[in-house]
């Protein structure tokens, strides 16, 4: 599906109306989809998620979950729309400079800075699920690579990164992960890997194993590394 750019006022109206729609009878299908994915009402409101029923005028958004993309200053700069049924293409993404953007940074930058640590994941729901379970230091790539612009953005808040990529990635995905590692290493980031089970992503993993279990895993990953140049905390504040 081709990308386009929405007028800012239209985008604002779309986000507001789609969010309100979730809590109306016509939005039950969208609310059921999110609930079945383990997203609770508090998270729906926190992330301003929405839904467009199948009878809306614009065919692009018919029967799709609406996810606002906000920059680090909390300005809505684009939207993504996820089809509820598993029919391709799953996603429609508004065209915008993704290379200057990290999903969720507007909400997680404070804790990333406090902990000097970010978890880099792939998808929007990875970030949202981790956040919901008290791990509020994740940012999402949303289908793009971690390029120099994004690394510059991340370096304002931390110099430690945990890579939590899907383990069932194809060869192209594995090459991309290697490129990310090299870019971070070149910029003197301390890099860690959170190896999930095969066919798991952070979203499914945290829902299955719980936030506290994941926090312990993260702390254990960090404790394996000792650096002479700086003493890092041995306890972390992943929540608010």
Q: Indicate if 205 and 109 belong to the same structural domain.
A: yes
Q: pLDDT by residue (tens digit) across 207-228?
A: 999 999 999 999 999 887 654 3
- Residue 230 placed within a domain: no
- Residue 229 placed within a domain: no
Q: Which of 40, 66, 96 is the last residue of a domain?
A: 96
Domain range for 144: 100-223
Q: 237 burial class (0-12, 13-18, 19+ CB within 10 angstroms)?
A: exposed
Q: Indicate if 74 and 119 belong to the same structural domain.
A: no
Q: Which of 72, 96, 120 is the last residue of a domain?
A: 96
Q: pLDDT by residue (tens digit) across 19-78?
A: 999 999 999 999 999 999 999 999 999 999 999 998 766 678 989 999 999 999 999 999
Q: Indicate if 120 and 199 belong to the same structural domain.
A: yes
Asked if residue 1 has pLDDT above 90, the reply is: no
Q: Indicate if 67 and 157 belong to the same structural domain.
A: no
Q: Which of 81, 96, 111 is the last residue of a domain?
A: 96
Q: CA 132, CA 146: separation in Å to the nearest integer?
A: 24
Q: CA 152, CA 109: separation in Å to the nearest integer?
A: 14
Confidence of residue 201 (pLDDT cuts 50, 70, 90): very high
């Amino acid at each position: 599906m081709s990308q386009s750019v929405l007028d800012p006022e239209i985008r604002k109206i779309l986000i507001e109306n789609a969010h309100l729609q979730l809590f109306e009878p016509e939005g039950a299908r969208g609310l059921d989809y999110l609930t079945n994915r383990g997203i609770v009402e508090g998270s729906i409101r926190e992330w301003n998620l929405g839904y467009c029923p199948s009878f809306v005028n614009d065919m692009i958004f018919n029967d799709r979950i609406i996810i606002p993309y906000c920059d680090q200053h909390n300005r809505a700069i684009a939207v993504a729309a996820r089809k509820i049924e598993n029919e391709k293409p799953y996603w429609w993404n508004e065209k915008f400079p993704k290379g200057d953007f990290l999903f969720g940074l507007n909400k997680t930058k404070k804790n990333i800075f406090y902990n000097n640590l970010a978890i880099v994941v792939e998808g929007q729901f990875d970030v949202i699920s981790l956040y919901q379970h008290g791990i509020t230091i994740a940012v999402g790539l949303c289908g793009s690579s971690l390029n120099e612009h994004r690394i510059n953005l991340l370096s304002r808040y931390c110099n430690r990164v945990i890579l939590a990529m899907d383990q069932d990635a194809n060869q192209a995905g594995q090459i991309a992960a290697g490129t990310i590692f090299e870019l971070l290493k070149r910029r003197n980031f301390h890099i860690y890997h959170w190896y999930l089970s095969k066919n798991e992503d952070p979203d499914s993993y945290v829902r299955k194993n719980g936030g506290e279990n994941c926090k312990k895993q993260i702390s254990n990953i960090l404790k394996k590394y000792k650096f002479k140049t700086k003493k890092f905390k041995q306890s972390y504040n992943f929540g608010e």
